[in-house]
Amino acid sequence: MADETQRPWWHDALIYQVYVRSFADANGDGIGDLDGIRSRLDHIASLGADAIWLNPCYPSPQRDHGYDVSNYFDIHDEYGTLDDFDALVSAADARGIKILMDLVPSHCSDEHRWFVAALAAAPGSPERARFYFRDGKGEHGEEPPNNWQAAFGGSAWTRINDDPNDGQWYLATFTPYQPDLDHTNPEVGQLFTEIFEFWFDRGVEGFRVDAVAGTGKHPDLPDQPPVGPDTGVLDITWQNPYSVFREEGHEAWRHFRASLDDYGQRHPDRELMMVAEAYAVRRPELIKKFTEPDQFDQMFSFDLMLTPWHKESIERAMQDPLEILESTGTPPAWTLNNHDIQRIVTRLGRSDADQPESWTNNNLALSGADADLALGERRSRAMAALIFALPGNLFLYQGEEFGLPEVLDIPADRREDPVFHRTDGAEIGRDGCRIPMPWTTDAATSYGFSTGRADGSVGEPWLPQPDGWGDRSLAALDDEAAPTLSLYRRLGDTRAKFAASQPMHATVFDGGPGVVAVRRGSLVVVVNPSAEAVELDLGRLGVSMDQVVLASEPLDAGSSTIPSDTTIWFVSSD
Ligand code: GLC
Ligand code: CA
């Protein structure tokens, strides 16, 4: 039998997501930066991380906080320099931590030199052919070329001017300042080949590839068919059959794969990877398609991130990714939080969180129900203990180890997310999961977020931190041996000890009423998502209480019940 521990690092790695702007600010201007990350590497290492995924840190006007790239070959000046980046890569490497970058191929910034050149060039020019420029409809071209909507609100088309000799429109799936690139143009593919080469040469081991769903369009750009009456404004885009999950996109990914493999062949010592980001929830056929051998290594499984706290929903959320692993060998990429989603502590603390219908495919939809944060944090611990046992990569998002909740009461004039502004505040957007991290209890340094000025002063943090944020800081939680942080640390160790040697194979099975049960080799994990303690059916589970190696809450000695909202790991010695 093959040695199960000899697999590429990215089959079962722990990857810590750093939202650069909000992680740590080493020069005191209120904005996170690369040196700040370097100063906090010990914390990331203490969780057992194998790699860090950096949210985009390329030069950018920051209108979508780096997802609007104006130059793919440099570092954003607020975050540092290429030298700072190199220093981060080597400091991480010294701790055995790899760096993944975030690649944004679907669109660039309207300040990217290509787009600036396209505006200056004529209709039909090669400069415009890197984007989707089209003439408008109507007598004077005053109407958009079709009815497509932008993902963050408004039309997907923007007219560049009213010039009767030009007056073309360009397509932008997210916001007008993120024009879509046309990947059927070979120049676009060539650009990304060069981007790979540039960052791989700097020691980056792979990429999280952004927004793969909307890359590639029907060549004729036909009108989107009518959507159902209940479709939310931010969902319309994702139901457009002519712009979402298109075969044209897969052509682009095959080119990416070829570029990555070409680099890999010239550097056989490297194990490079790319993971695709798209909301393919409950659509396993899509994950299979994106992870065909000529495309991505893996694709996020967002099912568990969006599932309600409900037995059958949790089971269902694991089954598709595990089935894909079984049939194609593609390791799942599990995650419970990211920079686009309401934090799990708030989400699972909501009074409707246990209702199967509160499942949503919309990453931005927020339930308005009240949240019990202590309950949500307890459930988040149970969820973390579940995913740490599963085969595949784990993507943790900064602050989940502190049990940070979503910050909901940000004043409108401090909100930054284009989702909020483009919908006139109808959607509150994603700022609440991007609040600068609390490291200490010292309010005068934005809770340790900002450091580095000789006079000790600090700039205002780019998003306001709520009162009491220091109670959730690393320093405060360390002192109290807080349950969430200490569980995350134990999980890293327990995973290394008991899960890493298990096969890349797991099954969800019937472990008795009320509980979710998963078996992976000699590891059995049981979750009780119900509001009551449950007497475990040890015979059916095939375990005994002396095999417990971890529990997300304290257990009663001598009892064989699992408390509510708790996860237990059992490991048999055979
Ligand atoms: C992805 C990113 C999100 C960004 C969007 C547009 O969904 O995760 O933050 O706004 O793509 O690039
Ligand atoms: Ca800074």
pLDDT at 233: 83
Which ligand sits nearest to residue 338's alpha carbon?
Answer: 1
How far does the centroid of ligand 1 lie from the alpha carbon of residue 242, in Å? 20
pLDDT at 1: 36
pLDDT at 359: 61
Instruction: Give start and end residues of each alpha helix (H) in 103-222.
Output: 113-120, 186-201
Domains, in order of start, for the chain: 4-108+186-477 (3.20.20.80), 505-571 (2.60.40.1180)
Contacts 24+ apart (CB under 8 A), 87-95: 87/34, 87/35, 87/38, 88/34, 88/35, 88/37, 88/38, 89/202, 89/203, 89/204, 90/203, 91/38, 91/41, 92/41, 92/52, 93/203, 95/41, 95/42, 95/45
pLDDT at 480: 85
User: Closest ligand 1 atom to the C-alpha of 430?
Assistant: 9
How far does the centroid of ligand 1 lie from the alpha carbon of residue 279, in Å? 11
Which ligand sits nearest to residue 78's alpha carbon?
Answer: 2
How far does the centroid of ligand 1 lie from the alpha carbon of residue 385, in Å? 28
Pocket test for ligand 1, best of 173, 210, 420 (most atoms within 8 A of CB): 210
Q: Provide the residues around ligand 2 (an ion) whose CB is within 5 A.
A: 25, 27, 29, 31, 33
How far does the centroid of ligand 1 lie from the alpha carbon of residue 340, in Å? 7
pLDDT at 171: 98
Annotate 17-83 with DSSP letters as a single string.
Answer: EE-HHHH-BSSSSSS--HHHHHHTHHHHHHTT-SEEEEPP-SS---TTTTSS-S-TTS--TTT--HH
Question: Phi, psi (5° rounding) for residue 276?
Answer: -90, 140
User: In terms of Cα–Cα distance, which of 10, 115, 6 is closest to 60?
Assistant: 115
Tens place of pLDDT for every residue, the chain, 574 residues? Answer: 345 557 899 999 999 999 999 999 999 999 999 999 999 999 999 999 999 999 999 999 999 999 999 999 999 999 999 999 999 999 999 999 999 999 999 999 999 999 999 999 999 999 999 999 999 999 999 999 999 999 999 999 999 997 777 899 999 999 999 999 999 999 999 999 999 999 999 999 999 999 999 999 999 999 999 999 988 888 899 999 999 999 999 999 999 999 999 999 999 999 999 999 999 888 999 999 999 999 999 999 999 999 999 999 999 999 999 999 999 999 999 999 999 999 999 999 999 899 887 666 555 556 678 899 999 999 999 999 999 999 999 999 999 999 999 999 999 999 999 999 999 998 889 999 999 999 999 999 999 999 999 999 999 999 999 999 999 999 999 988 899 999 999 999 999 999 999 999 999 999 999 999 999 999 999 999 999 999 999 999 999 999 999 999 999 999 999 999 999 999 998 6
Contact at 8 Å (CB) between 332 and 324?
A: yes
Which ligand sits nearest to residue 152's alpha carbon?
Answer: 1
Q: Who lines ligand 1 at CB under 6 A?
A: 64, 67, 104, 174, 210-211, 339-340
pLDDT at 364: 58
Pairwise CA distance, residues 409 & 423, whole Å: 18
User: Closest ligand 1 atom to the C-alpha of 174?
Assistant: 6
Which ligand sits nearest to residue 31's alpha carbon?
Answer: 2
The pTM score is 0.97
HSE at residue 555, side-chain half, CA atoms within 13 A, is 21
Contact at 8 Å (CB) between 305 and 339?
A: no
Distances (CA, A) of 63 to 60, 175, 177, 418, 419: 8, 9, 7, 7, 11
